[in-house]
C-alpha cells in the first residue's frame, strides 16, 4: 500500500505582496506540518512573480529552490495546491525535497586518549 501523505497545517511565515499592492498576488514562504511530524518550508507564488523577480535582479533571474505556483495567495488556494502536492508521489516533494532542516545535533564528546608521558619518580 503506498504511503499517504496528509497535511496537518499550513503556516504563512512571510508574505511578499505584488508590486500592484494586491494581497492575493505575490509570494509567500510557508511551513507545512505533516501528520507524521515532518515539516516542509518553501515558497509559493502567483504566476506574475517571475517577471517581478527578473525586474528586481537587473542581471536576470537565477534558478533557485523550487517554487509552488498557485492561483492566488488566498489560504484556500494555497491549501488546495499543497494538498495536490502531498498527493503526488506519496508527498515526496513535501517529505524529502523541501524538508525543513533540523538543527544539527551537538557533536558527541570525544574520549581523550590516555597520556603517554610517564611520571618521574621523585
Closest by alpha carbon to 44, among 20, 8, 77, 91?
77
Q: Return the DSSP state at 99.
A: B
pLDDT of residue 72: 93
Structural domain boundaries enclosing 41: 7-97
d(CA 30, CA 99) in angstroms, rounded, equals 12
32 lies in a domain? Answer: yes
Encode pLDDT of 15-38 as tens digits: 887 655 567 889 999 999 998 888
Number of domains forming the structure of the chain: 1
Q: Which one has a higher pLDDT value, 90 or 119?
A: 90
Residue 6 sits at the vertex; the CA angle it makes with 2 and 10, to the nearest 5 degrees, is 150
Is the CB of residue 6 less than 8 Å from the CB of residue 78?
Answer: no
**Residue 47 or 110, more confident:** 47
Amino acid at each position: 500500500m503506498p504511503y499517504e501523505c496528509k497535511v496537518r497545517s499550513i503556516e504563512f511565515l512571510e508574505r511578499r505582496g505584488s508590486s500592484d499592492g494586491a494581497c492575493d498576488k505575490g509570494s509567500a514562504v510557508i511551513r507545512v506540518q505533516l501528520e507524521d511530524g515532518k515539516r516542509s518550508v518553501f515558497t509559493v507564488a502567483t504566476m506574475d512573480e517571475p517577471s517581478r523577480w527578473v525586474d528586481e535582479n537587473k542581471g536576470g533571474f537565477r534558478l533557485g529552490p523550487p517554487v509552488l505556483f498557485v492561483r492566488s495567495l488566498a489560504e484556500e488556494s494555497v491549501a488546495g495546491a499543497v494538498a495536490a502536492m502531498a498527493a503526488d508521489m506519496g508527498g515526496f516533494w513535501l517529505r524529502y525535497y523541501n524538508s525543513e532542516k533540523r538543527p544539527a545535533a551537538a557533536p558527541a564528546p570525544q574520549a581523550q586518549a590516555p597520556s603517554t608521558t610517564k611520571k618521574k619518580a621523585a
